[in-house]
Amino acid sequence: MPPIPPFRIHDDIREAETLPAFVYSDPAVFARERERVFASSWQFITDASRVKVPGQVHPFTLLEGLLDEPLLFSRDRDDQLHCLSNVCTHRGNLVCEGDSVENGLRCRYHGRRFALDGRFQFMPEFEQAKGFPSAADDLPHVPFGAWENFLFASLRPAAPFDEVIREMRDRCAWMPLARAAFDPTRSREYRVRANWALYCDNFLEGFHIPFVHAGLAQAIDYGAYRTELLPWGSLQIGVAAGGEDVFDPPASSPDHGQKIAAYWFWIYPNTMFNFYPWGVSINVVRPLAADLTRVSFLSYVWDAARLDRGAGGAIDRVEREDEAIVESIQRGTAARLYTRGRYSPTREQGVHHFHKMLVRDLAAE
């Protein structure tokens, strides 16, 4: 793996400097992130409706454009869910090419068949092969996690799924997540001409809201805006400025009695769960190159009557404002006269936390 200049992030935010500028544009850093950051991360894939009944299969590419790993979800005839490699163990052809309901999996190249749980079943013209079949002829299983209706997968997770989502799961336990239905009309994809980490930097602080998002700034109380650091991410809490649409957290919630307009969760390294009174917007930040990122906004609605109100009422406009500022920062960090900056100890705790996690993984052997 290509070497990169050594650097560190001081643990004390009051003394720390931000990431060096080259991190946002160096192909060597980007190559190292692919394996050391993303291959060990949990990635949001889809909702469970894609594999709701026995026999359903759903092929997907894990982080298309970066990891490009062909995988599939399947639900077997015993109603058990599996995440499997979607690559035939004979010659590497893709086994499943579209959503369908099947009794089993069959490679159309040479007819090798697998059960819905990945077990090898049959292969023509292999009668004379010695030591065949073996466990190597089964489709490899891939770790996956399920929370409510949401499905995740990871090639080699750095931590158990339940540990990664614990704080978000517990904080949102009272929300009607079971009713959240995917709304394709409110879902979007954006291509941002900037490094993926710059996009995350911008998400992880409310510092820029009064300067970049005039509409959002009117909906929330900037003085009450706060960030909570989590073992595998962070939470930003937006308190409503006035009579905007708000949550009504129950007595069991640490936010009971507060006018919460939004919960913005970030799961390391690249996934955001944004909870509003109408539902949740899941954002997946997919790196494509050192200076190019695709961001998916996936809307799951549980109360359509509350759409287009409050902090979650103009997320498309907020995204376009974020896109413009992040692309400007990408150009600025490429300048010869910029090296690195400092953090606001009051407003940039989430960014500092992210940078420490990223440096930890980049330095790992």
Q: Determine, yes or no, domain membership for 298.
A: yes
Q: Please name the residues in contact with 137: beta carbons below 8 A apart, sequence gap of 6 or more.
A: 89, 90, 120, 123
Q: Determine, yes or no, domain membership for 154.
A: no
* Pairwise CA distance, residues 338 & 324, whole Å: 20
pLDDT confidence of residue 2: 59
Amino acid at 43: Q
Q: Determine, yes or no, domain membership for 33.
A: no
For residue 209, CA distances in Å to 7, 205, 213, 315 come to 29, 8, 5, 13
Q: What is the CATH number of the domain that holds 257?
A: 3.90.380.10
Exposure of 16 in the CB half-sphere (CA atoms within 13 A):
22
pLDDT confidence of residue 223: 86
Asked if 275 and 168 touch (Cβ cutoff 8 Å), the reply is no
Asked if 54 and 75 touch (Cβ cutoff 8 Å), the reply is yes
Task: Answer yes or no: do 72 and 114 share one domain.
Answer: yes
Question: What is the reported pTM?
Answer: 0.94
Q: Determine, yes or no, domain membership for 155.
A: no
In degrees, to the nearest 5, what angle opens at C-alpha 146 toward C-alphas 276 and 286?
65
Strands 100-101 and 56-62: antiparallel
* Pairwise CA distance, residues 212 & 321, whole Å: 7
Q: Determine, yes or no, domain membership for 153.
A: no
Please identify which residue in the block is written with the tokens 């980007």.
Answer: 30
pLDDT confidence of residue 217: 67
Task: Answer yes or no: do 59 and 170 share one domain.
Answer: no
Task: Answer yes or no: do 283 and 357 share one domain.
Answer: yes
Task: Answer yes or no: do 137 and 52 share one domain.
Answer: yes
Task: Answer yes or no: do 202 and 70 share one domain.
Answer: no
* Pairwise CA distance, residues 140 & 178, whole Å: 30
Task: Answer yes or no: do 183 and 330 share one domain.
Answer: yes
Q: What is the CATH number of the domain that holds 66?
A: 2.102.10.10
Q: Please name the residues in contact with 195: beta carbons below 8 A apart, sequence gap of 6 or more.
A: 23, 24, 25, 30, 287, 290, 291, 293, 330
* Pairwise CA distance, residues 158 & 171, whole Å: 23
Q: Please name the residues in contact with 248: beta carbons below 8 A apart, sequence gap of 6 or more.
A: none
pLDDT confidence of residue 120: 98
Q: Determine, yes or no, domain membership for 1.
A: no
Greatest pairwise CA separation for the chain in angstroms: 77
Task: Answer yes or no: do 340 and 194 share one domain.
Answer: yes
Strand order through the sheet with 105-106: 105-106, 113-114, 120-122
Task: Answer yes or no: do 182 and 292 share one domain.
Answer: yes
Q: How many residues does the chain have?
A: 365
pLDDT confidence of residue 317: 82
Q: Determine, yes or no, domain membership for 35.
A: no
- Per-residue pLDDT 10s for the chain (365 aa) are 557 777 899 999 999 999 999 999 999 999 999 999 999 999 999 999 999 999 999 999 999 999 999 999 999 999 999 999 999 999 999 999 999 999 999 999 999 999 999 999 999 999 999 999 999 999 999 999 999 999 999 999 999 999 999 999 999 999 999 999 999 999 999 999 999 999 999 999 988 888 878 777 677 788 888 999 999 999 999 998 877 789 999 999 999 999 999 999 999 999 999 999 999 999 999 999 999 999 999 999 999 999 888 766 677 787 788 889 999 999 999 999 999 999 999 999 999 999 999 999 998 76
Asked if 281 and 312 touch (Cβ cutoff 8 Å), the reply is yes
Helical H segments across 37-176, by residue range: 161-171
Asked if 45 and 60 touch (Cβ cutoff 8 Å), the reply is yes
| 3-class DSSP assignment, residue 277 | coil
Task: Answer yes or no: do 97 and 214 share one domain.
Answer: no
pLDDT confidence of residue 321: 87
Task: Answer yes or no: do 122 and 224 share one domain.
Answer: no
Domain range for 132: 43-147
Exposure of 330 in the CB half-sphere (CA atoms within 13 A):
22
| 3-class DSSP assignment, residue 336 | coil
Looking at the structure of the chain, the number of domains it has is: 2
Q: Which of 290, 273, 43 minimizes the C-alpha distance to 158?
A: 43
* Pairwise CA distance, residues 193 & 235, whole Å: 26
Bridge partners, 59 (sequence order):
72
Query: Looking at 88, 116, 147, which one is the last position of a domain?
Result: 147
Task: Answer yes or no: do 322 and 207 share one domain.
Answer: yes
Q: Please name the residues in contact with 47: beta carbons below 8 A apart, sequence gap of 6 or more.
A: 149, 150, 151, 182, 300
Q: Determine, yes or no, domain membership for 34.
A: no
Task: Answer yes or no: do 329 and 202 share one domain.
Answer: yes
Question: For the chain, percent helix, then strand, then coil, each to nearest 5?
Answer: 30, 30, 45
